[in-house]
Amino acid sequence: MSDDFEKNLRDHLHREAEETREFPRRLRGRIRDGIAPRTRARMVPQLALAGALVLVAVAVLAFRNPTIINVVVTTFKGIVPSPTPTPQPFLCQDQSGGTTGLNATLTDIRPASHAGDGYDRVVFDLSGGIPSWNVTRQESSTFVRDASGQNVTLEGNAGLKLVLLGTDVAGSVSSDLQPRLTSIREIAQVGNFEHQLTYAIGLSSSQCVRVFQLTNTRLVIDVATSASASTTAAPTPLPTQPAATDLGAFSCLDHSGGTNSGPAMQLAAVRVAHQTGFDRIVFEFAPQAGATAHIPAYTVSRQASAKFVKDPSGLPVTMRGSAGLRIVFHGASGATSYSGSRDQIVNLPVVQEVEQLGDFEAVLSWGAGLSQPSCIRTLELPNPTRLVIDVQTP
């Protein structure tokens, strides 16, 4: 305890005892005796006793004059130093958190530049607590709207997608903000469907982020404005196998592609197998009679857990593993065309389980439980029409 702090506390207690005339005279005398200067060895217990006497007296007087509580508490805040929170590191990976099953309302979105500290910030204000959330990174600023499946491209060259489960949005919240900061260029609502709220953030380039919660009312996303602000790297893509150099490189970001046009494509098969250097998941589609074959619009989102939410029931489901992929197709269905297993437990080096999460109004979603976070690549192949997802293995 510093000398300055002792002096400030002693002076404060003395003022409270003198100025609060409702205190009995004998009690004011005991408080003055307790705060009189002592040797350092006796200072802490004496001040503690004096402080306790003040608090007891305040509690008694609160019944007579409730405003005295506000005066004392406010003054104490001015003399007691508050700890400075330790900043979290920036992470070049997807992140998740919040409270499962909580219902909340988004009340405001506030972007701001903190250029001097090396990041841009966007704050999502919520009432009712912080619900379950996922923040995923992707290598483009093109997103797929929920539940229409239409593509939307924001300003920038990369992106973040924030999904808030069990969340509605207040009517006063803007659906499209263009702060045009160093990293954060645009923020747009891309989904508000059955209490699942989705926002897309267009970035100037792929950067690392940190996500944290404040006072159970704010979800904060900081985006680094330079690579030097990143202290924890994403999983590093392993060297590409020589035999697979023509398949493209692995990426530790989310992927999207395909088109949502014409009648819904029909899911015909789901296959999972291990190959040298990667586990492969194949979704095979067939067109409806008279329609043109194409890959339906899709997003492959990486997440930091194997916990998912079924569409449209909202029921939680946990797959095998510690990380996951969520694959969503817009303009596709397997309700009448797919007869295979909708929950495949495969126990490959990384891919542990593949399960259907939803098939509702031409929105088909599957999840994959992974033994560890891993980089991926996607391939769109014809004859037959297939989306191939390769998950890199150690």
At residue 94, the pLDDT reads 83
- Decide which of 168, 201, 232 is a domain's last residue: 232
- Whole-model pTM? 0.51
For residue 237, being part of any structural domain is answered with no
**Based on the domain organization, do 250 and 334 belong to the same domain?**
yes
Q: Is the pLDDT score of 68 beyond 50?
A: no
**Based on the domain organization, do 96 and 224 belong to the same domain?**
yes
**Based on the domain organization, do 136 and 170 belong to the same domain?**
yes
- Decide which of 214, 232, 250 is a domain's last residue: 232
How far is residue 45's CA from residue 47's CA, in Å, rounded to a whole number?
Answer: 6
Q: Is the pLDDT score of 16 beyond 90?
A: no
For residue 148, being part of any structural domain is answered with yes
As a whole number, mean pLDDT of residues 43-50 equals 54
At residue 246, the pLDDT reads 59
In 129-264, beta strands by DSSP E: 133-138, 142-144, 151-153, 158-165, 167-169, 176-177, 184-193, 196-203, 209-214, 218-224, 230-232, 255-257
For residue 84, being part of any structural domain is answered with no
- Decide which of 51, 79, 107 is a domain's last residue: 79
Q: Is the pLDDT score of 181 beyond 90?
A: yes
85 contacts: CB under 8 Å, gap ≥ 6? none
As a whole number, mean pLDDT of residues 238-243 equals 47
**Based on the domain organization, do 61 and 95 belong to the same domain?**
no
At residue 88, the pLDDT reads 80
**Based on the domain organization, do 109 and 42 belong to the same domain?**
no
For residue 334, being part of any structural domain is answered with yes
**Based on the domain organization, do 45 and 16 belong to the same domain?**
yes
Structural domain that includes position 17: 3-79
